C-alpha cells in the first residue's frame, strides 16, 4: 500500500507542496467540509462546499493512505491531485436554493466537464451524475449526499451564499469607508446649514456669540 507520508526526499516535498497550495488556496473562502476518514482508505473522502463570489464550488478529495494517528503529522490526509471539482454558475446556486425550498423537485446541470442532478433524498440532498477528475478526461459516475445535520448546513450555506452574492454587504461597507451617512443629502453632501435658535446663532448685546 502506498502511503503519501511514507515518501521521502524531493518527491515527497514536491507532492506535499502541491497539496498544501491547493488546500491553502481555498482556506480563505467561505466554506464547510465533511471529513469522512475510514480504516479502508478507498472508502474515505473529504467533501468541501465553498463559494467564490458568485460561483459555487463543490470538491471531493479521496483519502490518501491510512488514517493518521499522530496529531503532529503534517502530511495531507486527502489527495488534492485526484480531487473532483465542480464550479457552478450563479444561476445554478439559485436553482439549488429553489430545490432546498421545495420550489422545484430537482435541478439538472450539464457542461463539458460534468452532467449532474441535484435533488432531495430521503434524509437530505443528493448530487449525482457523471464527471471527470482533475487532470483526467475520463468521465466516471459520481455522487455525494448531504444527510441529516449536513443537509441543514447545506441549506443555510446556500442561502447565505445567494444572499451575499448580490454585493449588498460590500456596497454598504464601501459607503461606510467613504464616510457616507444617512444624514447626507442626495448629492452626498452633509446639510451644514444652521437652524434658527442654535447656540452658535445666539448673540449677546455686545455682538459676541454666547
pLDDT tens digits for 130-146?
998 888 889 999 999 99
Measured CA to CA, the distance from residue 155 to residue 176 in angstroms comes to: 31
Give the residue from 116, 125, 122 showing the smallest Cα distance to 87: 116
Low-confidence ranges of the chain (pLDDT < 50): 1-17, 20-22, 185-186
Please tell me the class of the 31-66+76-165 domain. Answer: mainly beta
Extents of the domains making up the chain: 31-66+76-165
- Give just the sign of the alpha carbon dihedral 51, 55, 56, 62: negative
Residue 2: per-residue pLDDT: 34
Q: What predicted TM-score, i.e. pTM, was given to this entire model?
A: 0.70
- The SS3 assignment for 130 reads strand
Phi, psi of 152 (to 5 degrees): -65, -45
Residue 86: per-residue pLDDT: 96
Residue 203's DSSP bridge partners are 209
First-to-final CA distance of the chain: 90
Amino acid at each position: 500500500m502506498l502511503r503519501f507520508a511514507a515518501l521521502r526526499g524531493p518527491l515527497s516535498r514536491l507532492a506535499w507542496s502541491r497539496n498544501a497550495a491547493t488546500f491553502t488556496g481555498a482556506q480563505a473562502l467561505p466554506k464547510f467540509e465533511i471529513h469522512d476518514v475510514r480504516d479502508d482508505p478507498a472508502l474515505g473522502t473529504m467533501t468541501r462546499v465553498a463559494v467564490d463570489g458568485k460561483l459555487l464550488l463543490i470538491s471531493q478529495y479521496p483519502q490518501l493512505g491510512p488514517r493518521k494517528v499522530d496529531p503532529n503529522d503534517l502530511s495531507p490526509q486527502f489527495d488534492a491531485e485526484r480531487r473532483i471539482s465542480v464550479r457552478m454558475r450563479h444561476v445554478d446556486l439559485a436553482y439549488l436554493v429553489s430545490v432546498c425550498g421545495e420550489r422545484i423537485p430537482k435541478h439538472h446541470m450539464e457542461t463539458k466537464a460534468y452532467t449532474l442532478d441535484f435533488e432531495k433524498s430521503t434524509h437530505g440532498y443528493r448530487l449525482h451524475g457523471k464527471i471527470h477528475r482533475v487532470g483526467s478526461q475520463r468521465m466516471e459516475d459520481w455522487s455525494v449526499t448531504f444527510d441529516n445535520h449536513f443537509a441543514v448546513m447545506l441549506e443555510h450555506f446556500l442561502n447565505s451564499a445567494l444572499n451575499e452574492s448580490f454585493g449588498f454587504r460590500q456596497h454598504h461597507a464601501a459607503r461606510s469607508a467613504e464616510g457616507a451617512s444617512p444624514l447626507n443629502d442626495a448629492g452626498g453632501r452633509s446639510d451644514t446649514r444652521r437652524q434658527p435658535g442654535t447656540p452658535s446663532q445666539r448673540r449677546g448685546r455686545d455682538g459676541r456669540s454666547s
